[in-house]
Amino acid sequence: MGNTLHVLIHLTDGMAKHDPALVSRLYHSMLLIRRVEEHICTVYHTDAIKSPVHLSIGQESVATGLCDPLEHTDMVSNTYRCHATYIAKGGDLNQMMAELYGKSGGCAGGKAGSMHLVDIQNGVMGASAVVGTTIPVATGYALACKRETKMSELRRIVACVFGDGATEEGCFAESLNFAALHKLPVLYVCENNGLAIHSTLSQRWATNRLRDRVASYGIPTYYIGDGDVFALRELVMEVTADLRAGSGPAFIECKTYRWMEHVGPTDDHGAGYRDEKEFARWKADDQIARLETMLPQGDVTRIQAAVEQQLKDTVAFAEASPYPPSEALYANVYA
């Protein structure tokens, strides 16, 4: 692919024909993410959820477009806004919900909460509440994958997901340099929603040329500017094929928009730091609604019913799971 800056332009539904099975699969994934997070919004005030939550409502197409082409053995490294990628990669939904409820059936025994989801068996590396810290961890895992390739037929890759705020951390530049130097099989994906809590890009960046910074390390960079789930999926398929062939790291910047507040279950558009017109533009191009119009009504009804049953089952599992016993406080404590 070279080091050319690629800009993908939105393909209208009239220009692109998509396999109905693919549309159904992507719709199911994004709808499941949204319904799970909408449930979180509904019950959060009851204290059923035992940790802060960072929701991806409005951003589902990034997680789904990225994870759908990945192999089961590939790994995804996450930020604290991790529900969407965890679900899209196939993380155990029961364990996720139980973790949010603080129950022993959770993926970390109910002791880690929303910001530290993990499911290694399904390719989800542990998330972290500290901005940027998963970037070097993912880079190190990619080094392990490269060494593994020398000893087996596996061609695993790592997809490292983070927000635009994480690109301001020193470990971001250090990791890019190391990955480029050693040609590691890592795909860096920036979910750029334009905000670090309440601070806009214009308040934080002297220029918005993020991809130019990345390209200075000899890393090919790409851009999805409108949340198009098909465009991102097709790009990921192309890029990961090169990664498996030994091309070295790549970088995708995905422009996106979170509908909810930075942390918590409410709409904060009245807080004065966001443009209502921008929100209206993104909401009008909601990828879940777009895919729904591409499916027969019978398929939509079937998928919606399946998602509702999944949600019902996972909530029942979380509610029935016991709280950790007091002695669990001393498990996995090393100092």
pLDDT at 16: 53
Q: What are the structural domains of the chain? A: 6-321 (3.40.50.970)
Q: Provide mean pLDDT across the span 163-171.
A: 97
Query: Residues 175-229: pLDDT tens digits?
Result: 999 999 999 999 999 999 999 999 999 999 999 999 999 999 999 999 999 999 9
Closest CA to 213 of 183, 246, 190: 190
CA distance 331 to 182: 37
Which sign does the torsion angle of CA 100, 106, 112, 118 carry?
Answer: negative
CA distance 314 to 106: 11
Res 2 pLDDT > 70: no
Which sign does the torsion angle of CA 141, 147, 152, 153 carry?
Answer: positive
pLDDT at 1: 40
State the residue for tokens 């790409």. 222
Query: Residues 30-87: pLDDT tens digits?
Result: 999 999 999 999 999 999 999 999 999 999 999 999 999 999 999 999 999 999 999 9
Which sign does the torsion angle of CA 106, 112, 117, 123 carry?
Answer: negative
- SS3 (DSSP) at 247: coil
Query: Residues 289-335: pLDDT tens digits?
Result: 999 999 999 999 999 999 999 999 999 999 999 999 999 989 888 88
Residue 149 tokens, joined: 């390739």
pLDDT at 12: 42
Which sign does the torsion angle of CA 5, 291, 242, 87 carry?
Answer: positive
DSSP tag of 330: G
Residue 165 tokens, joined: 């705020």
pLDDT at 152: 82
Query: Residues 55-68: pLDDT tens digits?
Result: 999 999 999 999 99
Query: Residues 220-241: pLDDT tens digits?
Result: 999 999 999 999 999 999 999 9
Query: Residues 20-29: pLDDT tens digits?
Result: 999 999 999 9
CA distance 324 to 180: 43
End-to-end CA distance of the chain: 48
Q: Provide mean pLDDT across the span 157-169.
A: 97
Question: CA-based diameter of the chain, in Å?
Answer: 60
Residue 183 buriedness (CB in 10 A; 0-12 / 13-18 / 19+): middle
CA distance 55 to 33: 10
Strand partners for 252: 189, 222
Percent of the chain with pLDDT over 90: 90
Q: Provide mean pLDDT across the span 145-173.
A: 94
pLDDT at 150: 82
| pTM score of the predicted model | 0.94
Residue 301 tokens, joined: 């009804």
Mean pLDDT score across all residues of the chain: 94
